[in-house]
Amino acid sequence: MILQFNGPVVHLVECLLCMQEVSGSSPLGSTIIMSEFLQFKDLKIEVKTSAQARRWRLAVHADGRIVLTRPKSFFQLPPDKIIAERYDWLKAKTKFWQEHRGNAPILSKTQQRQAYLQNKIAARNLVRARLEFYNQKYKLKYNRISIKNTATTWGSCSSRGNLNFNYKIVLLPERLADYIVVHELCHLAALNHSTRFWRLVGESLPDYKLLRAQLKKIGRLS
Ligand SMILES: [Zn+2]
């Protein structure tokens, strides 16, 4: 979900699924031309300057990182002013992640790798089957399906139509796994979290708001 504040320039991102890849023209990845850190009160914020971004974008990640991405050509609002205005929101989101991460077992790197290898094929089979099922309705085209061992995202959709899913999807209750599949599938039709996007999701999962809330409670599984 993207919460938009009054001004048109800032996107506050708290989508559990797509925290890092909201859209194909996402101001992340190779378009970043500069990255620096800013300290504001007790918060450390990574400020990234993007060659492609057209708007400010402020994200609080599940691992506690706060990232402000700003367009190269935008000079009016200094980063500390943006942060100052959203300080309370940032604190609340940081606290949310701290609380929800607290319940998850911490696995060592080796254990994580093992869990990934053990569940990867089952996850792929599940995702394939559920994508095919739901896509009977949408009839969208997708390319590669990847099962990944990502730390903070459940799934993502690229502008090239590649779909990525966290292997832990196979460990979730069926309805929540379906929600992730439908969410990413619908991003093939709308690479954003617009009203149209949620309408598409709702066509398959009328109770998507509830599922989304449940998934949020779970947070990420480590
Ligand atoms: Zn999304």
96 and 141 both lie in a single domain: no
**Three-class SS of residue 89?**
helix
Rounded to the nearest integer, the mean pLDDT of the chain is 79
The residue type of 167 is Y
126 and 53 both lie in a single domain: no
37 and 92 both lie in a single domain: yes
134 and 171 both lie in a single domain: yes
Cα 159 to ligand 1 centroid, rounded to whole Å: 13
Cα 200 to ligand 1 centroid, rounded to whole Å: 12
Cα 198 to ligand 1 centroid, rounded to whole Å: 9
Cα 110 to ligand 1 centroid, rounded to whole Å: 30
Cα 117 to ligand 1 centroid, rounded to whole Å: 26
Cα 18 to ligand 1 centroid, rounded to whole Å: 5
Whole-structure pTM value: 0.55
Tell me phi and psi for residue 13, to 5 degrees: -110, 130
**Three-class SS of residue 43?**
strand
| pLDDT for position 103 | 52
19 and 46 both lie in a single domain: yes
**Which contacts (CB < 8 Å, 24+ apart) does range 91-100 have?**
91/43, 93/14, 93/60, 94/43, 94/60, 94/64, 94/66, 97/60, 97/61, 97/62, 97/63, 97/64, 97/219, 98/64, 100/62, 100/216, 100/217, 100/218, 100/219
Cα 1 to ligand 1 centroid, rounded to whole Å: 7
Domain that holds residue 175: 109-218
Cα 121 to ligand 1 centroid, rounded to whole Å: 24
Cα 26 to ligand 1 centroid, rounded to whole Å: 12
Please identify, among 71, 101, 131, the residue that sits at the C-terminal boundary of a domain. 101
8 and 68 both lie in a single domain: yes
Cα 20 to ligand 1 centroid, rounded to whole Å: 10
Cα 196 to ligand 1 centroid, rounded to whole Å: 12
90 and 161 both lie in a single domain: no
Cα 41 to ligand 1 centroid, rounded to whole Å: 31
| pLDDT for position 104 | 54
* CB of 124 closer than 8 Å to CB of 145: yes
Six-digit token pair at 197?
A: 């996007």
Work out the percent of the chain whose per-residue pLDDT is above 90: 38
* CB of 201 closer than 8 Å to CB of 208: yes
Residue-wise pLDDT for 143-190, tens only, equals 999 999 887 789 999 999 999 999 989 888 899 999 999 999 999 999
Listed range (18-32, 94-108, 140-154, 205-219) with the worst mean pLDDT: 18-32
What is the distance, to the nearest Å, from the Cα of residue 204 to the centroid of all Cα atoms in its chain? Answer: 21
27 and 88 both lie in a single domain: yes
Please identify, among 101, 135, 163, the residue that sits at the C-terminal boundary of a domain. 101
Cα 145 to ligand 1 centroid, rounded to whole Å: 16
Specify the number of domains making up the chain: 2
Please identify, among 101, 128, 146, the residue that sits at the C-terminal boundary of a domain. 101
Cα 15 to ligand 1 centroid, rounded to whole Å: 6
Q: What's the CATH code of the domain at 192? A: 3.30.2010.10
55 and 91 both lie in a single domain: yes
19 and 118 both lie in a single domain: no
The residue type of 5 is F
Cα 184 to ligand 1 centroid, rounded to whole Å: 6
Beta strands in 72-171 (DSSP E): 145-148, 155-157, 163-166
User: What band does 64 get if pLDDT is binned at 50, 70 and 90?
Assistant: confident
61 and 139 both lie in a single domain: no
d(CA 8, CA 56): 9
62 and 130 both lie in a single domain: no
